Structure 1
Amino acid sequence: MRMLVLHGPNLNLLGTRERSLYGTTSLKAVNDAITRLAEQIGIHVEIKQSNSEGELVTWIQEARTGFDGLIINPAGYTHTSVAIRDAIAATALPTVEVHLTNIHQREPFRHRSYIAGVALGQVSGFGPTGYLLAMRGLLDHLKSTRTARRTPRKGGGKA
C-alpha cells in the first residue's frame, strides 16, 4: 500500500514557530517518525511540504494514480481552500486530515474546515502523533475496504 503525506504552509517552520502552540519538534523529526512507522507497518510513504496552494492541488491530483490514500495537514488552507477540498473530492482517495493543534479550541475562524466534508476522518490536537494515528487509521480503512471488495456475497445474487 502507498500513502501520500502532504504538509501545508508554514509547517516547514515546525520546531521554531510558535512553540507554545506547535512544540519544538521539527518537520524533519515528524517526517522521520512517519517514515519509521511506514517501515514498521509495511507501507510505502511519500512525504511532501509546500507553502503553495497550487502545488498542493497538483500533488493531490497526481496522487490518483500511484497512491491508495492521502494524509494531509492543509494548515492555514484548511479554513480557506475550496481548491484543495475540490481536488480531494475529485481524486476520491481516502483522505485523513491532520492538525497538530485542536482547531476547535482555537480562534473561531479556525473552527471551519473545508477539508472535513470530503475526508474520511480528522485527527487534531495530538501534535506530531496525529500523523501516526492517521496512518494507522487509514491503513485499517484501506485493508477493510480491500477485504470487502474481495469477499464474494453469499447467495451469489445481486444485492
Structure 2
Amino acid sequence: MAQIVVIHGPNLNLLGQREPEIYGTSTLEDINRQLTELGNQHSVELEFFQSNHEGQIIDRIHSAIGSAEGILINPGAFTHYSIAIRDALSAVPIPAVEVHLSNIHAREEFRKLSVVAPVAVGQISGFGIQSYELGLLALVGHLQRLGRLT
C-alpha cells in the first residue's frame, strides 16, 4: 500500500479551540480520522505528523525519501516565509500538495504569498476540513497519473 505523509504545521494542534470563526471547530484528530477513512478508500496509508518547529518539519520531509509516494502539507504560518521548508520540498523527489483551511488569498496581505506553492503540485485553500480531503484526492490522482499508484 502506498504511503502519503500528512504534515500539519504550527498551531494546528490547537484546531477546534483556535479562532473557530476562521479555522472551524474540527480538531486535528477529526481531520486525521477523516483523512484516514478517505485514504483507505483509495488504498493509501497515511502517516500524520504535526510540529510547531520548522526544523522538525524539514527533517520529516527529508525522511520521507524512499518511504512515501506523496506529501500533503499545511505549512501554517511557515507558508508565507519559510524558504527552508520550500527548499526541503523542492529537494525531495516526492510530489506535494499544499492545503489550508482558510482562504489565504482573502485574508491579510501577508498571508496571500505562499513561498511553498511554486514547488507544490497544487494548492487548495478556503474549504475548511474539506481542503485536506480535496488535497488528498488531488494528490492521489496526480500519483495515479504518474503511475505511482494503481
TM-score between the two structures when normalised by the length of structure 1: 0.90
Q: CA deviation at 1:40?
A: 1.4
Q: CA deviation at 1:92?
A: 2.5
Structure 2: 5+ residue runs without aligned partners? Answer: none
Tell me the residue number matched to 1:54.
55
- Per-residue deviation, residues 39-60 of structure 1 (Å, max 9, x unmatched): 1111111011000000000000
Tell me the residue number matched to 1:66.
67
For 1:34, what is the secondary structure of its paired residue?
helix
After TM superposition, which residue ranges in structure 1, 4 or more long, deviate above 3 angstroms?
Answer: none
Identity of aligned pairs, percent?
Answer: 47
Measured on the aligned residues, the alpha-carbon RMSD in Å equals: 0.9
Tell me the residue number matched to 1:121.
122
Tell me the residue number matched to 1:157.
none
Q: Within 5 A, what are the aligned runs for 1:77-156? A: 77-146=78-147
For 1:46, what is the secondary structure of its paired residue?
strand
- CA distance in 2 between partners of 1:45 and 1:28 (Å): 13
For 1:113, what is the secondary structure of its paired residue?
coil
- CA distance in 2 between partners of 1:134 and 1:24 (Å): 19
For 2:147, what is the secondary structure of its paired residue?
helix
Tell me the residue number matched to 1:9.
10
- CA distance in 2 between partners of 1:144 and 1:41 (Å): 14
For 1:31, what is the secondary structure of its paired residue?
helix
Structure 1: 5+ residue runs without aligned partners? Answer: 148-159
**Which structure: larger Rg?**
1
- Per-residue deviation, residues 129-149 of structure 1 (Å, max 9, x unmatched): 1111111111111111117xx
For 2:21, what is the secondary structure of its paired residue?
helix
- CA distance in 2 between partners of 1:144 and 1:20 (Å): 37
Q: CA deviation at 1:88?
A: 0.2
How many corresponding residue pairs? 147
